[in-house]
């Protein structure tokens, strides 16, 4: 009986469209049953054979891939997938995908578009308030019993009236600006180009923006131009009362120089959701009460996970039905 059921399940899986999944992702685990009713997911991490061998084994059957940002999609990966025609990535950023090679091979690529924007913007405000008002540090102070021993905790700073520079005025940057503007912050920004529809002051140079702000919120994409864009010169321009919040990619900040500036008191604090060599985080951060960290989780809420599931299903259905994709980038 068990053998018959196994055979029936295999037949059902064989009749479903095959999708390669690279990198375990919470949406796959949370909606595994729903996904399995529509697609046959290939999961290399569940196999004992090396990845390149796994890809070669399934090369002829994989036309679509669902990839997380933790896996770099290089030309070597693509060489092992000659029939691949569509990549759905779980991120907004595309720095992990060789887009030039995808375009050359005629592989369509779609990202998650704007579905995470509000959650990321909420996290930006949360991290900023935490650093300014010392929420996490004060929480440790109370839980460690230091309130009784040491008395009053050091004062934090108010958010209203702070001059905030937003680095990257896309959808996430706009959502951050909207929230901080409501708190009474004074907003300015830098971006690849001045946005005609954005009324906040524009600075074409990141160092000039930093010199005119107390806080930098990083919302831009990681590119060759933005790699280590937030360096010591920018931090010194921000000043010893300055705070950096990063929701984008870790490598936009020169992390070694950030550590150095924080230890020397050349900037006042940082709220970080992303890091240069995830999941490795500089140990110096662990002892700093003015650094608040989250594990690259700004995009993830129960609601955004559901939205991601619905988008993935919609785009995979569209690809296999030869219909237009949502948030197609290549």
Q: Which of the following is catalytic: 171, 249, 255, 257?
A: 249
Which one is catalytic: 25, 71, 134, 296?
A: 296
Active site residue: 101, 208, 278, 284, which one? Answer: 278
- Tokens linked to 30: 């949370």
Element (H, E) at 205: none
- Are 215 and 245 in contact by the 8 Å Cβ rule? The answer is yes
d(CA 215, CA 194): 20
66 by DSSP, 3-state: which? strand
297 given a catalytic annotation: no
From residue 25, how far is each of 32, 71, 163, 218, 326 by CA, in Å?
11, 11, 37, 25, 20
296 is catalytic: yes
Strand order in the sheet with 18-22: 40-42, 18-22, 64-67, 86-89, 108-110
Query: What DSSP line would sit under 153-194, residue for residue?
Result: PPP----TT-EEEEE--SHHHHHHHHHHHHTT-EEEEE-SS-
Question: Between the CA of residue 311 and those of 113, 170, 317, 326, what are the distances in Å?
Answer: 10, 20, 10, 8
Q: What residue has token string 């929420």?
A: 135
Output the CA torsion 24→25→27→31 (10° steps): 10
Active site residues: 249, 278, 296
């Amino acid at each position: 009986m068990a053998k018959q059921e196994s055979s029936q399940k295999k037949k059902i899986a064989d009749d479903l469209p095959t999708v390669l999944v690279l990198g375990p992702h919470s949406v796959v685990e949370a909606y595994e049953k729903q996904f399995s009713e529509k697609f046959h997911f290939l999961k290399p991490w569940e196999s004992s054979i090396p990845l390149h061998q796994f890809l070669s084994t399934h090369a002829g059957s994989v036309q679509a891939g669902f990839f997380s940002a933790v896996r770099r999609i290089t030309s070597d990966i693509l060489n092992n997938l000659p029939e691949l025609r569509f990549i759905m990535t779980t991120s907004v950023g595309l720095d992990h995908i060789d887009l030039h090679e995808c375009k050359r091979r005629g592989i369509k690529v779609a990202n998650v578009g704007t579905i995470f924007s509000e959650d990321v913007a909420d996290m930006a405000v949360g991290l900023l308030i935490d650093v300014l008002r010392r929420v996490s540090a004060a929480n440790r102070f109370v839980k460690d019993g230091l309130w009784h021993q040491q008395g009053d905790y050091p004062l934090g700073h108010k958010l209203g009236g702070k001059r905030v520079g937003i680095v990257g005025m896309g959808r996430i940057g706009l959502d951050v600006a909207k929230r901080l503007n409501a708190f009474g912050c004074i907003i300015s920004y830098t971006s690849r180009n001045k946005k005609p529809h954005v009324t906040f002051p524009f600075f074409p140079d990141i160092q000039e923006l930093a010199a005119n702000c107390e806080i930098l919120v990083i919302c831009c994409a990681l590119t060759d131009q933005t790699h280590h864009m937030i360096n010591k010169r920018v931090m010194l321009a921000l000043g010893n009362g300055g705070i950096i919040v990063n929701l984008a990619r870790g490598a936009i900040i020169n992390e070694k120089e950030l550590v150095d500036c924080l230890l020397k008191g050349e900037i006042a604090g940082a709220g970080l959701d992303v890091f240069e060599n995830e999941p490795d985080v500089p140990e110096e951060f662990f002892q700093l009460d003015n650094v608040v960290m989250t594990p690259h989780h700004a995009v993830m809420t129960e609601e955004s996970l559901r939205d991601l599931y619905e988008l993935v299903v919609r785009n995979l259905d569209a690809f296999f039905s030869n219909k237009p994709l949502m948030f197609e980038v290549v």
